[in-house]
Amino acid sequence: MHDVAVFRFLGRLALDFLEYLGGVGKLAWSVVESLKSGRPRVRLMLEQIVETGWRSQPVVVVTGAFTGAVLAAQALFQFKPLGMETGGGALVSVAMLRELGPSVTALMLAGRVGAAMAAEIGTMKVTEQIDALRAMDVHPIDYLVTPRFLAMLVAMPLLIAESAAFGIVASLIVGTGPFGVNGAYWMNQMHLHTDGSDIVFAMSKGLVFGMLIVIISCHQGLTVTQGAVGVGRGTTRAMVYSSLAILVVNFFLTLLLSFLFPAGAAA
């Protein structure tokens, strides 16, 4: 009997997960249809670019800079006994572009932007503002989701580039300052081991992560129930689900993109 209960519990979890994936996939398809035939809402998209991109810069800059600085310090602690200090620049630049820049930036935006999207749309849902949009013949996906989707596609790659750039600059300061590495050698190693494939790597991950954040967060907002309590739960789930999706998808993207764009190969 105990085994039967466990299997039933696991079966319910699997069904709930498949139902959730279906809902997210349905929303993603609705966004695609909106992009093809919906009314362009440039003003809303620009407002979301400001909210998503411009107002996220402080957290992205600080996160990127200190991630690069810590990575450089840890690398130099290990490289210095081996006389390989100049290799720290190459390690930081490749890591920030291929891995840490995209993933850390996406995780920060999942917490800041994703939660805000879910809270805003969820509040509109429980206060029946979304029903009012339908009554005015305004499609909620076209008005609420698509502008955020387009704004994230614009803002995310730029934020990742900014995060990686500040991380690389911070690593140079740490390497040439406290550790006394020659700056010319540091930059030379960085130049030799970083190329266009690393930039393509970062931008590709940024686009995918941006889409995940918007679709998952807006889905949570649109499916909110139980009033204010539901809004709180939806906001938390948006952040958690987006972060988990980023971490899981990041693994498979790394495998795929590493095959398509090997490290050190020109894009």
Above 70 in pLDDT, residue 2?
no
Residue predicted with more confidence, 137 or 167: 167
pTM across the whole model: 0.89
DSSP code, position 195:
-
Q: How many whole angstroms separate alpha carbon 76 and alpha carbon 174?
A: 9
pLDDT, tens only, 135-153: 888 888 988 999 999 999 9
* pLDDT 10s digits, 30-39: 999 988 887 7
pLDDT at position 70 over 90: yes
> DSSP letters of 45-72?
HHHHHHHHTGGGHHHHHHHHHHHHHHHH
Say if residue 226's pLDDT is above 80: no
Give yes or no for residue 265 having a pLDDT over 70: no
Mean pLDDT computed over every residue of the chain: 87
Given a cut of 90, whether residue 81 has pLDDT beyond it is: no
Q: Write the CB contacts of 213 (distance below 8 Å, at least 6 apart in sequence).
A: 106, 109, 110, 113, 114, 152, 242, 246
Look at residue 267 in the predicted model and tell me its pLDDT.
41
Instruction: Assign 217 a pLDDT band (cuts: 50, 70, 90).
Output: very high
The predicted model gives 190-208 an average pLDDT of 88
* Percentage of the chain lying above the pLDDT 90 cut: 42
Question: What does the pLDDT look like over 229-245, one tens digit per residue?
Answer: 888 888 999 999 999 99
The answer to whether residue 264 scores a pLDDT higher than 60 is no
C-alpha span between 83 and 52 (Å, rounded): 43
Q: What is the pLDDT of residue 266?
A: 45
Report yes or no: 144 and 119 within 8 Å, Cβ to Cβ. no
Judge whether residue 3 has pLDDT over 70.
no
Task: Tally Cβ neighbours within 10 Å of residue 185.
Answer: 15
Mean pLDDT of 152-171: 93
Residue range 243-249: mean pLDDT, rounded:
94
